[in-house]
Structure 1
Amino acid sequence: MPIKISEFHNWHSMDAKKALTFTKSSHKGLDDKEAKKRLSSFGANILPHKKPISLWFIFFDQFATPLVYILLISSVVSLFFRHYTDSAIIMAAVVLNAAVGFFQEYKANDSLEKLRNFIVPTCLVVRNGKAELINSTELVSGDIIHIQNGKNIPADLRIIESEGLEVNESILTGESASRKKSAGKVHKGTTLSERSSMAFMGTVVVRGKGLGVVVATGGNTEIGKISGMVEDTDDAKTPLQSRLSHLSNQLGLATVAVCLLIFIAGIVLGDYDPFQIFISSVAVAVASVPEGMPIAVTVILTVGMQFILKKKALVRKLVATETLGSITAICTDKTGTLTEGKMHITNILFPDQKVDLVKGSFTHEEPELIFHALRIGLHCNDAVFEEGSEVGGWKVNGMPTDEAIMTAAVQANLNYAQEKTDFPLLSELQFDSDWKYMATVHQSKIKTKYIKSPFILFVKGAPEIVLSKSKSIIKNGRTKTATDKDRSDIRFEIEKLTGQGLRLVALASRALTEEEATKEPAVLAEDLVFIGLAVIKDPIRPEARETIKICQQAGIRPIIITGDYGRTAKAIAAEVGLKVKDNEIVEGSRLEELDDEELKHLVKKVCIFARVSPGHKLRIINALRANKESVAMVGDGVNDAPAIKAADIGIALGSGTDVAKETSDIILLDNNFSTIVAAIEQGRVIFSNIRKVITYLISDIFSEMILVTGSIIFGMPLAILPAQILWLNIVNDGFPNFALAFEKGDENIMKAKPIAANEPILNAKMKAIIFGLGLVRDTAIFILFIWLYNEGREIDVVRTTIFAILGVKSLFSLFSLRNLETPLWRMNPFSNKYILMAISLSLGLIVSVIYWRPLGNLLSTVPLPLESWYFILGIGIANIAALEAIKSIFNRRNGKE
């Protein structure tokens, strides 16, 4: 029986024949009996994955917060004492909140299921000595696989035969450049990305063909190990969850303390029946529970989630929308995130000038030379041109370099079909890592300025190799013998550009006679005319530079984590506006030498981590979070998945792998990096709106607690009844809370620093509004209650007046609380129509419960005389003035006025 990959990890350093021996296989493959036996022993070739989350789990998970626990306990206590209306209202609030949260998370998970795109399920395998097509899930260790161009690798393979084989391993390494593969063994300590003798599950063949023996399947493959790392990574608790949990605990403790105080005070200070005192304590508990808060927070998150979706980002987890606003560091791979993830020719460097293809500068004084260079690249090319398969009428498939060159040629209006007719292929020498160039011989049916012979040789390859085979160059439109200085100048450019992390391909040609055209291309590839260098790169996304700039203004630190070389990452960083010093670049080999404590200190100053493995990425994220950073991880490959899951916010590109998307909190449907900025801005708006709602709600709670507690301590009738409190909580808190969700936020919100993850949700300004202003205002309201009651007015009239005062002053305060940074007179009163609608509707319901007897009888309210409204409106206006004064004091202190 072959050994398991978990027991042996050095297939890459083992001779190909020895690998066949270890797997007890041969070029004839396994027979069906042995294959079934191994399948039974090792299991199907399936990646480990979690079972889909059940609908019941999603629903009941909405109840798993301390705030909801307080609400449920209050509902049960109210029911026990036969306060059926109170109990029903609280329970309705809890269920409604759960329903909204359930619907949003279910919809997000359902959308993700529709995005799924799994690995091709079939492969060509040698069984019983002949090739047959089987389901890739049936592969076992020892199977011999035909590796074909354009196909996915179905399992981890040890290469045993190779013909020009190249594989794109970006799914594992994050790098778009293809990797050459051969049967030769490599050193035992070779990194994953350099193991040329291996082909890994999920990677894609872009060139050539070969044979490989399966050495690992399913969870034992490299991609399977990463999936296992994802499974072992705990979901991070978001800052919002932590803050709300802390706030709920504080409210719960405060409620218990106040209720005990009331109960003891009632027994000690007054001649009260213990049962009645307990009922009064329940009234305080009802007053202190913000039953509207869970719904309000959920609505704000939902509105933000929908806004982000309009910007082409799918939020999979509701609380993730707010967490974006707390992000202090964004870790991103450069390929496919900062860059487009696809190679392009940006320039052609001729011996006497440089042509910028990106800007379309085809006004070159020698346009024929540009077309000649691109013509060489088009014909000396293994990419496949497919007409009519894409929007625009064509598509190119092949290895990245070939794709880039052929695409540039077609975009320059070289007609592919006509070119193949005008220059039919006679013979070719395929590219190989031994000779590092490709050569093709063509008949020339047309004449151009640079093609005057009946036959032509085109050469494309490594710059130094092609230059060494060249005798001439073209300058000023004329062919001349290359001097030592010419060669030195070209070598200088080669060194300079490769030092910037750019890929270079040299282009050359040679006129042939009919007799010469019959010879082998390898023989003819001498005395070439060196045409120029095609500069190839994975260009940065157009919006990336502005995105990085906004992030820096917002106090967010961009960190590049890549499997590529440090110098390449540094060049990309410079293009997007990141100035990185050499001592701010660390490679994976150094990370291996550091323990977790040392890494914690290192990540504080490093901007680029290069040549890293998936395990390194996970350690980096954990180190940043250990430093109290709120971290977003952006990625698209399987190699990014563990770090995506470990981050505070995991962001996957829509074109990324299923594993990356499944572990993410947010998916960028359009792969647009600027969408992250829009999402972060909305996250800050969400947090700001949550703070406004909490300030509004707790201000109301504080008022109600002061009045009820004061009534009991001073031996007075309750200033407001529990049913009236619940009515205010529904009417005053419900509609305005929803309206605050649509506030757009302060215009300078992306110029402020991120909110620290450990910062309490109530800041100094909010505490001053809630407790400072609240204590003065609510004491004054309680004194008014005592005065009105001692004046001999009916208790129902006095309670109704207090009821109206609490309702109106809260609604009036909305005008000021809409923006805690901007004075009321600078706000546009019509910028949020929902606020005006909510205030009008809530005022209408308050008035209706006072003057419409069916509701009035239910809540023990009575019609008020006109003079009562003087008190009501006066306190409402005075409250606004006091709010604005507090805002002004804090804004001046913070330099915002």
Structure 2
Amino acid sequence: MTGLTNEQVQERIAEGKVNANENPNTRTYKQIIRENTLTFFNFLNLVLLVLVLFVRSYKNSMFMGIILINTVIGIIQEVRAKKTIDKLAILTESKTVVLREGKKWNISTEKLVIDDLIFLKTGDQVPADVKILEGSVEVNESLLTGESDNLAKNPGDELFSGSFVTSGEACCQVIHVGKDNYASQITSEAKEFKRHNSELRNSLNAILKVISIIIVPLGAMLFYKQYYIVGDTLKDSVVNMVAAVLGMIPEGLVLLTSVALTLGSMVLATKKTLVQELYCIETLARVDTLCLDKTGTITEGTMKVEDVQLYESGQDSGEKTIDTDAETEAGSDSMEDATSEADKKKLQEMEHIMENLMSVLHDQNATADALRKRFPAKSDLKLVHAIPFSSDRKYSGAVFEEKGTYLIGAAQFLFPEGNEELLAHCSTYAEEGFRILILAHSDEETESTKLPAGLEPVGLFLITDVIREEAPDTLAFFDSQGVDLKVISGDDPVTVSAIAKKAGLKNADHYIDATTITTPEEMQRAVAECSVFGRVTPQQKKQMVQALQAQKHTVAMTGDGVNDVLALKEADCSIAMAAGSDAAKNIANVVLLDSNFGAMPHIVNQGRRVVNNIRSAASMFLIKTIFSVLLSLITIFFGDAYPFEPIQMSLISACAVGIPTFLLTQENNYDKIDHTFLRHVFMNAFPAAVTITGCVFTIMLVCQNVYHSNTMLNTACVLVTGWNYMAALRTVYSPLNTYRKVIIYGMQFVFFGGAVILQNLLTLGSLEFGMIILVFLLMTFSPVVIEAITSWIRKGYEKSLDKDEEDMGVIGKFLKRVQK
């Protein structure tokens, strides 16, 4: 076979028969521009602009300047992030080995064309629908069907894109590409799986949904009241209605959230971390349980054969060993250490068998690499058939003519009915942190992958994992943050426990053999009580994640192999190593490009930074929304005129909300977060919103009954509202550090300076003596009121945490319902 020629490839590309991905990792520039401009609130702002221009109140159209600036900033930030992430995505791009013009090439899966010949091996994700020409594999089609069973595929069988190879290797011919197969759906399906629940996204959507429902009818009622009942001019009615609606719109909240998440992903990019799902940064920050795949996460993913031993029934540990250091002449020196000539021959025979096994087994994993390095491949025995490694079977091997069947694997899986003496022998080494593999032999030539009759242990291989240098510090960080750590592995639980203890895991001695877990109830109990799990199958990893989630935990999962995909897909946040399989990288929310587990604390801190800053910013936006809604209702039922004009609301929004929240969102706030986003937003927003409403209502009553001046009403309301908003900034962002003081007091100076300098533009006038006294009193006592209400609410919140609903009081019950 020579594969396609370059001419044939170009012909197929010209005909569109190429495996182009229609669902890229990031949005296109067109999508970014469209999604930042064509929004409900932008459309509403456009309608308001048309209305103020229609009544020729041109100065009150300046609010569109802020909207345009917000939109442009959002587009620029997302474009910057797209460029950064696209560059990183190239590093994790799926590659496929293809045969063209008689040579093998490693190309992007998107460059495959119809009839290409490709080579698949363990860990690969099938890039397009193919037909097997040579070889045999086992595949898992869980991404397509939801079923996790491994299916055997032989020459003539078809493989569907999106499935992944769990064992074996094969040469295949591409039969479908692009939209004709599953390849174009791999990314989109993966994204669907990754769109796990996000409290931040859900909370913001809830706020925007409520505002979207009430904003139009309130605006219409306000216009009706002023134009038809009070008898204001069309211009005044429209201007006042626009001012009220503008106050209700949290125009910068969505932008601020998007920018904060985008900047967070860009910061992580500098740490060689690719974020494939923006909101997963927030999810990981909330994680209280982290499931760690031992190999490739705590350990480097590389192994070394430390020792090789013969096994005979009744022998003591440590007897009949051979030094297997690759740097020494293992073959000669080890034989001299053997206790007898018979043992020398057995050791030589075992090495001979292993060398032949290494020539016919092409498993791609750390254990196989360690064995291959210790036993260089040699082929002088006639192969009947090979048994590739499977994560379900936990063993591999081969059948040689006149030699019988030789298998390599864990004792529990090679001897499922139990070999107490062998298991006890292995456990003595497992307790020291060794992974024990058994070479077993049977004279029977098995015709399938099942265990043959008469299987007996021949020798033991003592293998060690290399622990990552950064693992102890990373584990210590999560422990200090109250995150429960679960180490999961397919290896012997005693061995995994010993390695976890070396890496610094607390409660590493609380381990369990997953083969003993047979019911959902036992699984629930195991995940609650144990920290280390050994002999875990891929299906059990998924079940563990589900069991933890059923216990109300937010679960993150790390992994790098095809055996981790089911659990990665199920977890609230999934992290894959770039050195891992394509299947793991495609399904993960986050990919560690240098496979550095030490980057995990940075991801958590970025998530906390985003959530904490957005929570504070959302409170400031919600203050404006709440008091605008309340003032609209008061005006509809009690007032004669809405007390603000659009340009005045623009000044308040810019100086008290937009600019300070944007600058304060850049802070590094790494405080721990919980599941009370909406509750905290309300607790921060409600006191200031109610106080501002009360102050403005007081001014409205005085102006309507004493001074009868809309200009004086506007001026007094702008001054008091701006002052209270600054007080709210100090409360929401307490305690104040130097940076916060500079921002808040700087904005206070800009606000009052702008009110003086732009007095005419803002339609502000002078105040009579009585109104000056009222404004002074309100500005003096309103911050005290804000603090008092805030303190009352926080006490109610703390009481709601400590007591049952019957005892927590009115405010506690209300806050509990807000959170729900």
TM-score band (shorter)? 0.5 to 0.7
CA positional deviation for 1:105: 3.9
User: Contact 2:700/2:713 (CA < 8 Å) preserved in 1?
Assistant: yes
User: Contact 1:569/1:610 (CA < 8 Å) preserved in 2?
Assistant: no
Larger Rg: 1
User: Contact 2:92/2:578 (CA < 8 Å) preserved in 1?
Assistant: no
Q: 2:300 aligns to what SS in structure 1?
A: coil
State the distance in 1 between where 2:270 and 2:595 align: 14
Aligned to 1:836: 741
User: Contact 1:651/1:668 (CA < 8 Å) preserved in 2?
Assistant: yes
Q: For 1:319-347, what per-residue CA distance to the aligned partner results, in whole angstroms no more than 9, with x for missing partners?
A: 43323334465555443234322113568
* Equivalence map 1:537-552=2 (5 Å): 537-544=464-471, 547=474
State the distance in 2 between where 1:744 and 1:504 align: 48
Q: For 1:498-552, what per-residue CA distance to the aligned partner results, in whole angstroms no more than 9, with x for missing partners?
A: 698813589xxxxxxxxxxxxxxxxxxxxxxxxx976313345455566567657
User: Contact 1:728/1:807 (CA < 8 Å) preserved in 2?
Assistant: yes
* Equivalence map 1:759-798=2 (5 Å): 761-763=677-679, 766-771=681-686, 774-787=689-702, 792=707, 795-798=710-713
Aligned to 1:62: 36
CA positional deviation for 1:349: 9.2
Letter in 1 for 2:35: D
State the distance in 1 between where 2:492 and 2:177 align: 30
Provide structure 2 residue ranges, at least 5 long, that are not aligned to the other structure.
143-147, 334-350, 356-362, 387-405, 410-419, 440-458, 803-820
CA positional deviation for 1:762: 2.1
Letter in 1 for 2:171: V
State the distance in 2 between where 1:107 and 1:773 align: 41
* Equivalence map 1:29-428=2 (5 Å): 49-52=21-24, 53-63=27-37, 70-71=44-45, 73-75=47-49, 77-79=51-53, 81-82=55-56, 84=58, 85-86=61-62, 88-89=64-65, 91-116=67-92, 118-119=94-95, 121-123=97-99, 191=150, 214-215=171-172, 217=174, 230-233=187-190, 235=192, 236=195, 239=198, 240-263=200-223, 265-266=225-226, 270-272=230-232, 276-327=236-287, 330=290, 333-345=293-305, 374-376=328-330, 400=366, 404=370
Aligned to 1:502: 435
State the distance in 2 between where 1:144 and 1:726 align: 61
User: Contact 1:635/1:652 (CA < 8 Å) preserved in 2?
Assistant: yes
**Greater mean deviation of Cα atoms: 133-142 or 244-253:** 133-142
User: Contact 2:477/2:601 (CA < 8 Å) preserved in 1?
Assistant: yes
Q: Structure 1 residues 233, 812: closer, same or farther in 2, change over 3 A?
A: same
The percent of aligned pairs where both chains have the same amino acid is 20
State the distance in 1 between where 2:516 and 2:627 align: 56
Is it true that 1:611 corresponds to 2:537 in the alignment? yes
CA positional deviation for 1:718: 3.6
Aligned residue pairs, count: 693
Q: Structure 1 residues 260, 122: closer, same or farther in 2, change over 3 A?
A: closer
Q: Structure 1 residues 610, 230: closer, same or farther in 2, change over 3 A?
A: farther
Q: 1:538 aligns to what SS in structure 2?
A: strand
User: Contact 1:631/1:648 (CA < 8 Å) preserved in 2?
Assistant: yes
Aligned to 1:846: 751
> Taking structure 1 as the reference length, what is the TM-score of the superposition?
0.60
**Greater mean deviation of Cα atoms: 279-288 or 640-649:** 640-649
State the distance in 2 between where 1:406 and 1:432 align: 19
Q: Structure 1 residues 428, 766: closer, same or farther in 2, change over 3 A?
A: closer
Q: 2:214 aligns to what SS in structure 1?
A: helix
User: Contact 1:269/1:713 (CA < 8 Å) preserved in 2?
Assistant: no
Q: Structure 1 residues 871, 318: closer, same or farther in 2, change over 3 A?
A: farther
Aligned to 2:463: 536
CA positional deviation for 1:892: 4.5
Aligned to 1:178: none
Q: Structure 1 residues 203, 75: closer, same or farther in 2, change over 3 A?
A: closer
User: Contact 1:813/1:883 (CA < 8 Å) preserved in 2?
Assistant: no
Q: 2:648 aligns with which of 720, 724, 742?
A: 724
Q: For 1:221-277, what per-residue CA distance to the aligned partner results, in whole angstroms no more than 9, with x for missing partners?
A: 9xx979855544562265233322221011122323433443455478644567754
User: Contact 1:661/1:667 (CA < 8 Å) preserved in 2?
Assistant: yes
Q: 2:669 aligns to what SS in structure 1?
A: coil
Q: 2:274 aligns to what SS in structure 1?
A: strand
State the distance in 2 between where 1:630 and 1:406 align: 40
Q: 1:745 aligns to what SS in structure 2?
A: coil
State the distance in 2 between where 1:692 and 1:378 align: 71
Q: Structure 1 residues 551, 70: closer, same or farther in 2, change over 3 A?
A: farther
Q: 1:796 aligns to what SS in structure 2?
A: helix
CA positional deviation for 1:698: 1.3
User: Contact 2:324/2:374 (CA < 8 Å) preserved in 1?
Assistant: no
* Equivalence map 1:589-628=2 (5 Å): 610-612=536-538
State the distance in 2 between where 1:667 and 1:138 align: 24
Aligned to 1:364: none
CA positional deviation for 1:725: 0.5
State the distance in 2 between where 1:262 and 1:619 align: 56
Q: Structure 1 residues 628, 858: closer, same or farther in 2, change over 3 A?
A: farther
Q: 1:686 aligns with which of 610, 635, 639?
A: 610
Letter in 2 for 1:829: N
Q: 2:750 aligns to what SS in structure 1?
A: helix
State the distance in 2 between where 1:124 and 1:568 align: 48
State the distance in 2 between where 1:138 and 1:281 align: 59
> Taking structure 2 as the reference length, what is the TM-score of the superposition?
0.65
CA positional deviation for 1:860: 1.2
RMSD: 6.3
User: Contact 2:556/2:572 (CA < 8 Å) preserved in 1?
Assistant: yes
State the distance in 2 between where 1:45 and 1:330 align: 43
Q: 2:462 aligns to what SS in structure 1?
A: strand
Q: 1:808 aligns with which of 713, 723, 740?
A: 723
